[in-house]
A and B are shown apart, each in its own frame.
Chain A
Amino acid sequence: MNLFCVGLSHHQTKVETREHFAGDAETRSRLRSAGCAEVLLLSTCNRVEVYGASEAAIDTAEIARCLVGRGPTPAAAAPPVFYRHEGDACVTHLFRVASGIDSMVVGETEILGQVKKAYETAHASGTAGPFLHRLFQRAFRVAKQVRTRTEITRGSVSVGSVAVELASKIFGELRQRKVLLLGAGEMSERTARALVSRGVADLRVSNRSLERARELAGAVGGQVVAFETWTQHCAEVDILISSTSSETPLVHPENLDPILQLRLDRPLFIIDIAVPRDVHPDVNQLEGVFLYDIDSLQSVADQSLVQRRQKIASAESIISEHVEDFWKRFFREDSLPDGSAAPVSGSSISSQALRASES
């Protein structure tokens, strides 16, 4: 029995190529007809992969043909390069994918849910048998262990989520917090929505254009306040999100300091998403104020990503331990529930990259 993985991912191919090979409702049955005893199709926005077990080796080009779905034909002249992993390499690859270290954003957790869903679908349709069952159950364990032992998922890696995470680190529970949106840009709307999803109920929108303010307030469930009165609201709010199109800073130490004296016991978190900036950088020197502009939010996101990348080596080491152990157990229990033989070990098969033509 051969255990293999054939696929395309964001590393080598563009989205239009991946969507062409994303498969359809008939893909699994086509793969079964091509000779796969067991088959699982993992199709996400960043990858299309077939995990399979078969008695005889199935050509990559044949698998590629089975993957062609209803998506548009890519314009690229050269046929896509499918990667193919067998035995050890296949197990290692799956563990890396499930752990999020092969993802576009290293350490993202969404992929594990997608792998689980793909497994459930294969299980429900009867295409995942004992080989894939063992393999994927182990993959879920590995992913969990990588996450808890390396903390590879820690820290936010997008500007919006960094802002929300920092707000939570400053205020804890956000439910009772008051937020003022100064300006009604798209980015501040996105951040406001993220804060609302974390429980913020008191949201005030202030914009030069009252119409746009009403529109945004309606969209995020906030109340409109007159643009002329935004400084008064600064004394009450905990978070100020600024994204106006003003050419000069609206908030500077001189006009903020007197307001801060009225609210000495509470920190003020200012998120300045405007370019040019709405808040003078010296405001960050004021006691109790934490100012983050778009660059500093991006810098925190980058730091998190660097920290995540530093964890890859530890994650790889956990994965290699599991790969070895997985095969040991597999051969110890080589009489599988259905009485068939265990798959060929990766040690006897080298992984190979094969070209597959679309036709």
Chain B
Amino acid sequence: MDRYLLVASSLCFLAAVVRTVLSIRAGSFRPGRFNFFAIAAGFALQTVFLSVRGHALGRCPLTNLFEVLVFLAWSLALIYMLVGPAYRLSLMGAFTAPFVFLIQAFALLAPIDVRHGGKMPANSWLEFHASISMIAYGAFALACVAGIMYLVQDRQLKTRQLHSIFYQMPPLSDLFVAITRLLWWGFGLYTLGLVSGFFIGQPLPRVQVVCAFGVWLLYAAILQGRHLRRLAPKRVAALCIIGFTVALTLLWGITFSAQVH
């Protein structure tokens, strides 16, 4: 029954995607209130879904891959709602909505919503570890979205083919500042999630620990390169996309290897 909430939420994100595609095809793209409200409605429905599921489970709803993906989509929308307006990145909604829609559509269509037999015991450290890590993933996902925007704009400037969407993009320098901040936020939260993982009172599978450290090291390397000014903004943007793709793949692996998450 709670899946209907998620279907409705996905439709809200789909509406934002359709609106964006239509306006780009009409050659008059501009981020408007419609996209913001569609994403806000989608986010509200996601929140209700997670709340209903959480009450039913008696714990944070991160017990299978389906819930992990929904939580990730929710984190992405949450970070967008917090960061987008603050950095005047309203266009980011146009890039975020398809991302969220695809994650949720996959979660809904794939047979991954495997329910556990009995009620799982609540473990506040485990829930904190899992949820904070997911929010960090949301920040990394949004850095990836900003990275795509950066590369799109960089390409248009290089090729001198300035399409309708170009005029709605935030300046390259502002976008790069947003990418850097999102990376720092994501890295900080992920570190917190990683450290809290050692307090859950259960032995952690080696593969999980290795994957989690792998992601941490990857983002640490990107931030170090940025901090030492060894990486050009375009490379940082590209690494945000590569980094998140790797992180998402490893998350899949972690979730499969331990159905506890």
Contact = CB atoms under 8 A, between A and B. Distances in A.
Interface in A235-263: none
A207 B197 CA distance: 63
Given A151-B30, A300-B162, A303-B162, A170 B229 contact: no
B181 interface: no
Given A171-B173, A299-B160, A288 B167 contact: no
A155 interface: yes
Interface string B133-175: 0000000000000000000010001101110101101111110
A311 B28 CA distance: 9
Contacts of B116: none
A264 B173 contact: no
A239 to B, nearest CB: 12
Interface stretch (B76-84, B199-207, B230-238): B230-238
B102 to A, nearest CB: 29
A113 interface: no
A46 to B, nearest CB: 26
Contacts of B169: 169
Contacts of B158: 284, 290
Contact of B172 (A151, A267, A311): A267
Contacts of A290: 157-158
B27 interface: yes
A292 interface: yes
Given A265-B229, A292-B160, A151 B170 contact: no
Nearest to B235: A287
Contact of B160 (A169, A265, A300, A307): A300
Given A166-B157, A264-B231, A265-B233, A172 B174 contact: yes
A265 B232 contact: yes
Contacts of B232: 264-265, 287-288
Given A150-B28, A155-B162, A307-B27, A288 B171 contact: no
A355 interface: no
B28 A170 contact: no
Nearest to A303: B162
B234 A169 contact: no
A171 B171 contact: yes
Nearest to B166: A169
Contact of A288 (B162, B164, B174, B234): B234
Nearest to B172: A170
B173 A288 contact: no
Chain B contact patch, size range:
20 to 34
Interface in B172-204: 172-174
Interface string A147-178: 00011001100000000001011111000000
A284 B231 CA distance: 18
A171 B172 contact: yes
Nearest to A289: B158
B173 A172 contact: yes
A154 B28 CA distance: 10
A169 B28 CA distance: 18
Nearest to A262: B229
A305 to B, nearest CB: 12
B167 A267 contact: no
Given A169-B172, A264-B232, A154 B167 contact: yes
Given A265-B231, A287-B234, A303-B162, 8 more contacts: A150-B28, A170-B173, A265-B233, A267-B172, A288-B234, A292-B160, A300-B162, A310-B27
A288 B157 contact: no
A296 interface: yes
A154 B165 CA distance: 11
28 contacts: A151-B28, A154-B167, A169-B153, A169-B157, A169-B172, A170-B157, A170-B173, A171-B172, A171-B173, A172-B171, A264-B229, A265-B226, A265-B231, A265-B232, A267-B172, A267-B173, A267-B233, A287-B232, A288-B232, A288-B233, A290-B158, A296-B160, A300-B162, A303-B161, A303-B162, A304-B162, A307-B27, A311-B28
Contacts of B160: 292, 296, 299-300
B235 to A, nearest CB: 8
Contact of B171 (A170, A296, A300): A170
A288 B150 CA distance: 12
Contacts of B230: 264
Contacts of A151: 28, 30
A292 to B, nearest CB: 7
Interface in B223-261: 226, 229-235
